[in-house]
Amino acid sequence: MTSNDPDTKLEMRKADLGFAVVALGIVVVTGMFIAVILKSGSSTDTTTIATSFTAVIGTLVGAYFGIQKGSEGKDKAERQRDQAKSERDTARDERKKYKQFGDRLIEAHNQSRGAPPPPPPPTFSDVAMEFQQYSAKHP
């Protein structure tokens, strides 16, 4: 993926927007925390507010980084899947090429010895007919 790829641009935009939302949330919660601390006088209220503040900030930051890591993991898995498919297709093409070469080599060898060429492989209809005959004999 290049930086001009629309998917990359979209992911970068989502990351920037997510960061902005988390930063705005932290600023708002911090402002509320400061306002409540200044208005409140007791240490019990201050401790309760500080605990709530810490929980909210931790949740926002944890959610942001969790989503980012999950998205990175998904992208990495998709890239690995695409690479594996490409390698599988390449291996399949190579296998076909070598099988054709081997078949031609065997045929050439047999012809050089005067042997008749091997019979063609059975078709689906041949196999289906044999199956019906077998099924009729062995119910």
In a domain, 104, yes or no: yes
- DSSP-assigned letter for residue 120: P
Residue 32 has pLDDT above 70, yes or no: yes
What is the pTM assigned to this prediction? 0.42
In a domain, 57, yes or no: yes
In a domain, 1, yes or no: no
Kindly report the average pLDDT of the chain as a whole number. 81
As a whole-number percent, the residues of the chain with pLDDT over 70 amount to 94
Q: Measure the CA–CA gap between 97 and 132, rounded to whole angstroms.
A: 35
In a domain, 62, yes or no: yes
In a domain, 105, yes or no: yes
Rounded to the nearest 10 degrees, the angle between the axes of helix 43-112 and helix 6-39 is 160
Domain count of the chain?
A: 1
Backbone angles phi, psi at 118, to 5 degrees: -65, 150
> Who's near 22: CB < 8 A, 6+ residues apart?
60, 61, 63, 64
Res 137: pLDDT = 86
Q: Could you tell me the residue range of the domain that residue 75 belongs to?
A: 6-137
